[in-house]
Amino acid sequence: MRVAIIRFLGTNCEFDTAYAFEKLGVKAQIIWHEDEKFEADLVVLPGGFSYGDYLRSGAIAKFAKAMRGVLAHAKKGGFVLGICNGFQILLELGLLKGAMKHNEKLSFISKNQPLKVASNDNALCKNFAKGEVINLPIAHGDGNFFANERDLAFLQDKDLITLQYVGNPNGSLDDIAGICDESKKIYGLMPHPERVCEDILGTSVGLTMLKGFL
């Protein structure tokens, strides 16, 4: 399996993400944001603060040359995973429905967060039971997910909500922490599975999640 990780100015989780996939036996390639052409089965937009989160989180990153490659990859049915800032970028690109607002209390949140697996009929959560509660780290200031009534109903009716917060920390609509598109090839989540990929960190649940793409 080929994994490409897009690196922007301000990205800070690209090496953690590459390390997590290497733990799964996959050599990931880190792609500079100015490189438009790359070959991959899975493209990952990792966490961080692309372009300093100016304007809005992900608003500038969507214009990077590498995004042309990401859009072409998505158009031909390739897997795309956006983690935290990567999720925000996918929303800005319109590859996923909804938008991100500032956290409800306008503060940056960094902690281990319990999450409910809302659906396991997808690559991201297929290694968990539906309704299972897992713990993953979150670290964001703009993680308050919002969608209009039509888009929220679409996500609910099509079973496209993958993860929901237990004890909503940021005000997200319907407790949403992760979603996918209707093809179930494009995924976004605010928690960081790449940060819990070794037992020495307390759990390797992140590896269990990422393994779903292999």
> Does residue 13 carry a catalytic annotation?
no
The answer to whether 192 is a known catalytic residue is yes
- Does the pLDDT at position 110 exceed 90? yes
What integer is the mean pLDDT of 71-83? Answer: 97
- Phi, psi (deg, nearest 5) at residue 37: -105, 125
- pLDDT of 201 higher than 90: no
Catalytic hit among 125, 180, 194, 197: 194
pLDDT at 152: 98
146/156 Cα distance (integer angstroms): 13
Least confident of 110-119, 127-136, 194-203: 194-203
- Please give the distance of CA 17 from its chain centroid, rounded to a whole number: 11
* Burial (CB count <10 Å: 0-12, 13-18, 19+), residue 151: middle
The single residue of 13, 180, 192, 197 carrying the catalytic annotation is: 192
Which is the catalytic residue, given 13, 73, 84, 180? 84
- What mean pLDDT do residues 95-113 have? 96
Burial 22-48 (b: 16+ CB within 10 A, else e): ebeebebebbebeeeebebebbbbbbb
Q: What is the pTM of this model?
A: 0.96
pLDDT for res 125: 98
Given a contact cutoff of 8 angstroms between Cβ atoms, the answer to whether 30 and 18 are in contact is yes
Q: Kindly report, residue by residue over 20-71, the tens digit of the pLDDT.
A: 999 999 999 999 999 999 999 999 999 999 999 888 899 999 999 999 999 9
Catalytic site includes residue 84: yes
